[in-house]
Amino acid sequence: MLNCYRPTPLIFGKDGGIKEPFLEDPKPLLKAFIDYYFASFYSPSPLVPEWIGPVLKRDRAALERKIHQSLSDFPGRSYDESLRWAFREMDDNVAPQILQKWGTSADQIYKEMNDAWF
């Protein structure tokens, strides 16, 4: 069986940086991620990498800026056309709705990692 539960350093491909594991038992985090995965079947998740930081900080203004940057019409801005389609008729209340509905999931899945590594 693979030693998937043994803490080993992680190597990031983009910059070659090495990060030490931030948790002793990965099972609760895995469970939280699987719960989040299944919740995303019923409501598409807005927790894209660019938006997670402002969601974790509950920073509405920063989240609104990131949303508009990600969904702008400039070529190459949006890496996910389905995300642009999902938010095509976005109103001014989308950031508070994301913070309210997805903030707890973001905390459960990303907060500990964000605090340890960033």
Per-residue pLDDT at 70: 81
Q: Where are the domains of the chain?
A: 24-117
pLDDT, mean over the chain: 81
Mean pLDDT value across residues 25-48: 86
Q: Distance between CA 21 and CA 105 in Å, rounded?
A: 21
More confident residue, 109 or 86: 109
Checking if the pLDDT of 56 tops 90, the result is yes
Checking if the pLDDT of 3 tops 60, the result is no
Q: Distance between CA 116 and CA 50 in Å, rounded?
A: 18
- CB < 8 Å & 24+ apart, contacts of 13-18: none
Any idea what DSSP says for residue 92? T
Mean pLDDT value across residues 18-46: 83
Any idea what DSSP says for residue 89? T
More confident residue, 70 or 38: 38
